[in-house]
Amino acid sequence: MAKITKITAQKKAGRYNIYLNGKFAFPVSEEVLVKYRLLKGVELDDQQVAIIKKADHQSKVYSRALDYLSYQPRTVAELQKKLADLEAAPEQIEQVVERLKAERLLDDRQYAKAYVRTMVNTSLKGPRVISQKLAQKGVSPADIEGGLAEFSAEQQAANARKLAGKLYRRYHRSSTRRRQQKVEQSLAVQGYGFGLARQVAAEAAPSVSVDEQHQLLVAAAEKAWQKYRRFEGRDREQRVLRRLYAKGFDLDESRAWLRSKR
């Protein structure tokens, strides 16, 4: 048996040095100090010392987990990876995770809900993209589904309309038909359902006058005409026509413009 002859505080808050029989033996956290009632005069055998050291290692892992969580909320998978990177043993990580869950400091379902609310209020991403981001963070499908309940159909439509407005301004040089197609595709890429993307793209489409549409065609046609200047005659015309059609311009109007170039 060895007797605790001295206990001193380290410079780091919450850490203490334990001396047995006048010699430094091991450090402990305040949590372990209190839990095992380590006081001057207490006697410890080798088994007890081993248990206390193991508890202190576990306490260190828990402390590191709290430090990691103090900066921002984390998912279980993110915390597990962080602790593994810090070389914590698997059983230590499991114990810490279960403890933090019990203390309600680690909850993937609540994390998903908070994450979705933040994304809804600070971005215009659709539910599918948000779901993918949560999956990348290790959140389970069930918890993702629970989180997405925070993104109502009405809010999805409202955010999609805001995004559509920005996209229509971005694609203002495209033909009316091509512009709407681009907006619809972009809404889908940003995570909105195809049905909603199609509906919003149609509803948010700005009106374009005949003159404005003609000017867009002329600008695109002139650009294509120069692009294919190394070709001649009908070959050049067909290439320009195909390019204008691909951009959504009317074939008859495109042919009329080409006739004016002859």
**Quick check: helix, strand or coil at residue 3?**
strand
**123 and 179 fall within a common domain:** no
Last residue of a domain, one of 206, 232, 251: 206
**Do residues 9 and 93 share a domain?**
yes
Contacts of 185 (CB under 8 A, 6+ apart): 197
Q: Calculate ∠ Cα 22-59-112, nearest 5°.
A: 170
pTM score, whole prediction: 0.76
Residues 36 and 53 in one domain: yes
pLDDT of residue 168: 94
| Rounded distance between C-alpha atoms, residue 254 and residue 237, angstroms | 10
CA angle 154, 158, 163 (to 5 degrees): 145
Residues 35 and 75 placed together within one structural domain of the fold: yes
Same domain, 23 and 77: yes
CATH code assigned at 197: 1.10.10.10
HSE-up (13 A, CA, CB side) for residue 120: 20
Helices (H), 3-45: 30-35
What does the radius of gyration of the chain's CA atoms come to, in whole angstroms?
33
For residues 207 and 164, give the distance between their C-alpha atoms in angstroms, rounded to a whole number: 14
Do 156 and 97 sit in the same domain of this protein?
A: no
Expressed as residue numbers, the domain containing 82 is: 2-102
Which tokens in the block code for residue 188?
């889908």
**CA quadruple 118, 123, 126, 132: dihedral, nearest 10:** -60
**Residue finishing a domain among 102, 119, 137:** 102
| Cβ pair 112, 146 in contact under 8 A | yes
Q: In degrees, to the nearest 5, what angle opens at C-alpha 41 toward C-alphas 39 and 45? A: 90
Q: The domain that contains 252 carries what CATH number?
A: 1.10.10
Does residue 44 sit in the same domain as residue 76?
Answer: yes
Distance separating the N- and C-terminal Cα atoms of the chain: 108
Please enumerate in sequence order all residues whose Cβ is within 8 A of that of 156, keeping only pairs 6 or more positions apart, or say none: 126, 127, 192, 196
- Please indicate, yes or no, whether residues 88 and 167 belong to a single structural domain of this protein: no
Give the separation between CA 36 and CA 51, rounded to whole angstroms: 10
Residues 97 and 142 occupy one common structural domain: no
| Residues 256 and 171 occupy one common structural domain | no
Q: Could you tell me if 97 and 76 are in contact, meaning their C-beta atoms sit under 8 angstroms apart?
A: yes
| Residues 185 and 124 occupy one common structural domain | no
Are 252 and 213 a contacting pair, CB within 8 Å? no
Total tally of structural domains belonging to the chain: 4
Which position has the token pair 């962080």?
82
What single string gives the DSSP state of each residue in 109-137?
A: HHHHHHHHHHHHHH----HHHHHHHHHHT
Per-residue pLDDT tens listing for the chain (262 residues): 899 999 999 998 889 999 999 999 999 999 999 999 999 999 999 999 999 999 999 999 999 999 999 999 999 999 999 999 999 999 999 999 999 999 999 999 999 999 999 999 999 999 999 999 999 999 999 999 999 999 999 999 999 999 999 999 999 888 888 899 999 999 999 999 999 999 999 999 988 777 777 888 888 888 889 999 898 888 998 898 888 888 888 787 888 888 887 7
Q: Looking at residue 240, what is its pLDDT?
A: 86
26 and 49 in contact (C-beta within 8 Å)?
yes
